[in-house]
Structure 1
């Protein structure tokens, strides 16, 4: 009996100890995790108790160092603002002009007015990217429309310093330009990535100066929306469509002033130069998140030629042309004598003397309908197909003259 009692006491003691340990661990675990939860909550919520007017900033900090912040750090020092200066003429209805017209040129203020008319003023701002340092010069790529019409150029570096810049070369067709500055103040240079390797959905950032240098080195984020988008290029003076360009589409915010700045991938490589955004469709519908960048592979090809030659040498025919649809249907039949089934093409308005077109037999009022058996529907088609060839290439032009289709061979020469 005693032995049995002893056994029962042992069992009871073990059970009691086990229960105590279990409760203790459970209590500690609850207290521990609950304490952590309460600690986190207390750092992220306002205190419920305490004296009013004693709110403090939390001592918990978040350090984010993801791929895109690292990419931004790699490139930001090489992004600049580009300032375009031009001469601004005063309006004729100014008081000075009014009094001058009444009292003649004897007014002592007339000379100062002339001086003001000749003063260079800031006309516009854009962005640019330092991509190379060689032989004491640093080279900057930007858009042609950023520097168009400039009589003086300056760039603002990422540290805020302003230095003079010179045009090395420009190309209106691709909307690219290269500037040079003294390299002694340049510390950061960006690297180009392979734009052919980008994929839709890939994360990218755009860096630049939206609305001018006041917002310099602004960064916006998005993705690649599409590769190989084809958009029309237009003549800056006439507004006529002159060709087509293949670009990257992105939903990254691109605003006025971002033009010429880089589109950057997660590795910190520049995969495009931001050029434009689409704000509305042809029917006036407002759109968002449709920006376009010139692919880096195209950029590198163009800027190397601009540095070497100061311009892009493209093949030319030596003709002036307009879209056939600008000619009335009646004139297409009576003057050009085109068949009923021919309603697309390019009308030759004039042929330059000593041009390859004239040497090959092309004449005024010929209607070009194909180049190397590829249809030419308009001027954009003609330029796109022509510029896909090199100087010295032989091409075949199909055209109509007096209602009959003809073909000639042309050996391309370079532009002047």
Structure 2
């Protein structure tokens, strides 16, 4: 009997539990359904475009809270008036006849040859900066490649006035040039800062005419990425030390200033340097010629109209272009010597000839600078002035020798040689 009662109680509690669970599920489902309905209603209500008038949608311009006289703005304003566009004009052959069905013919329809004349047209545009005003003259520094090949030059001042310019002098090795213009409309002159004092991370501005004078006085901001990069400059591949910046420098910026936040010119931008480097399409890598180098070149161009540098009077090839067999059999070099330049010819009476250098001598050092190729030899040589002496280290028949070069000969480095065998 007790067993029957206990079984009945167990079944009763089981029924209660089942009913409770079922009721909970039903209640939860109803609550969930109601909650979903509420959420759906709220979503529809919050996303539906309200009806009614649109007059409340008006607004106003508020007072500008930004600092309009910040450090960068002040620096730009102090230099902007000295930044110019440089126009390179070159002769273009044009026929004076009329264009007929079969080409150019004479205007009267005869078979006589048409005359032609030369017309100056804009070949390229770049930038520059006025750095000196003296009496009626003002002087502009720009890049050599901006003015190269010109038959006439013009400068567009910051106020839009166009004036003629004369080329005072140019230097292909550093890619710099100086122009002279009338100073009547010149109101602002830029000053140079010490490029040896710059540091990576320092804020800078690049000013110029990217893509031409239509965008004159464009300013971009960046930092000094590196203060001492070694790149090939100009058209003769001379190695030079340049400033690297992430300020945008585009075609047309060439010759414009790179300035610090005090408004001082610390470099002259050169798109040519950027385009001559690998990966030039990468953004955020631009180069500028340091101001200290710029001032040195400017002063020599003003004085002489050109830059003269020491010349050894040799033709040479890089040792890396000589096979290992020839390095051993012909040059008789020890295996420890793998870099340098091989003299292929010595001009009679030249600096190298006077010092006793001969064909097949391998130059490995000039002064305290290791010579690895022709470019590094030029870079080392161009640190000297005409009239100075330099010690040269070289190998002949496997033996190391030294000699003193009396740098009495000079060469105008605006001329270049693009052949495989380099000359110096």
- The separation in 2 between residues aligned to 1:132 and 1:107, in whole angstroms, is 56
Give 1:230 shift: 1.7
Aligned mates of 1:198, 1:50 — CA distance in 2: 60
Q: Is the 8 A contact 2:248 2:284 kept in 1?
A: yes
CA distance in 2, matches of 1:176, 1:280: 16
Say yes or no: does 1:126 pair with 2:109: no
Alpha-carbon deviation of 1:194?
Answer: 1.5
Q: Offset of 1:150 from its aligned partner?
A: 1.1
The 2-side partners of 1:279 and 1:396 are apart by: 35
CA displacement at 1:306 relative to structure 2: 0.8
Asked if 1:314 is matched to 2:309, the reply is yes
Residues in 1 aligned to 2:186 and 2:206: alpha-carbon distance in whole angstroms: 21
Partner-residue secondary structure (3-state), 1:273: strand
Q: Output the CA distance in 2 between the equivalents of 1:96 and 1:327.
A: 58
* Structure with bigger gyration radius: 2
Change (3 A) 1:87 1:281: closer
Alpha-carbon deviation of 1:108? Answer: 4.5
Shift of 1:206: 0.6
> Is this contact kept in 1: 2:350–2:409, CA < 8 A?
no
CA deviation after TM superposition for structure 1 residue 247, in Å = 1.3
Is 2:75 the counterpart of 1:71?
Answer: yes
Change (3 A) 1:325 1:88: farther
User: For residue 64 of structure 2, what is the aligned residue in structure 1?
Assistant: 61
Most deviating of 53-62 and 352-361: 53-62
Taking the aligned partners of 2:191 and 2:124, their CA distance within structure 1 comes to 27
Alignment of 1:338 onto 2:342: no
Alignment of 1:149-164 (within 5 A): 149-164=149-164
Q: Which residue of 2 aligns with 1:230?
A: 230
State the match for 1:348 in structure 2.
Answer: 343
The residue that corresponds to 1:412 in the other structure is 407
Q: Which residue of 2 aligns with 1:366?
A: 361
DSSP 3-state at the match of 2:225:
strand
Unaligned runs of 5+ in 2: 1-50, 412-424
Q: 1:178 to 1:279 in 2, by over 3 A?
A: closer
Alignment match, 1:198: 198
Q: CA contact under 8 A between 1:155 and 1:163: conserved in structure 2? A: yes
- Give the Cα–Cα distance (whole angstroms) in 1 for the partners of residues 104 and 111 of structure 2: 7
Task: Give the CA deviation at 1:291.
Answer: 0.7
Distance 1:219 1:100, change over 3 A: closer
- 1:390 lines up with 2:394 in the alignment: no
Deviation string 1:384-415 (CA, Å, 9 cap, x unpaired) is: 21122222222221222333332221111252
1:21 aligned residue: none
State the number of aligned residues.
354
Summarize deviations over 1:84-108 as a string: whole Å, max 9, x none. 11223589xxx8897579xxx9734
The C-alpha deviation readout for 1:358-400, integer Å capped at 9, x for no partner, is 1121223322111235421111221121122222222221222
Query: Structure 1 CA distance, aligned partners of 2:76 and 2:91?
Result: 36
User: Which stretch of structure 1 is more off in the superposition, 220-229 or 393-402?
Assistant: 393-402
Are positions 1:273 and 2:268 aligned together? yes
Considering only aligned residues, what root-mean-square deviation do their CA atoms show, in Å?
2.9
Q: How does 1:10-409 map to 2 (within 5 A)?
A: 52=55, 55=58, 57-62=60-65, 64-88=68-92, 99=103, 107-108=111-112, 110-111=114-115, 114-115=116-117, 118-233=118-233, 235=235, 241=237, 243-276=238-271, 278=274, 282=278, 287-372=282-367, 374-409=369-404
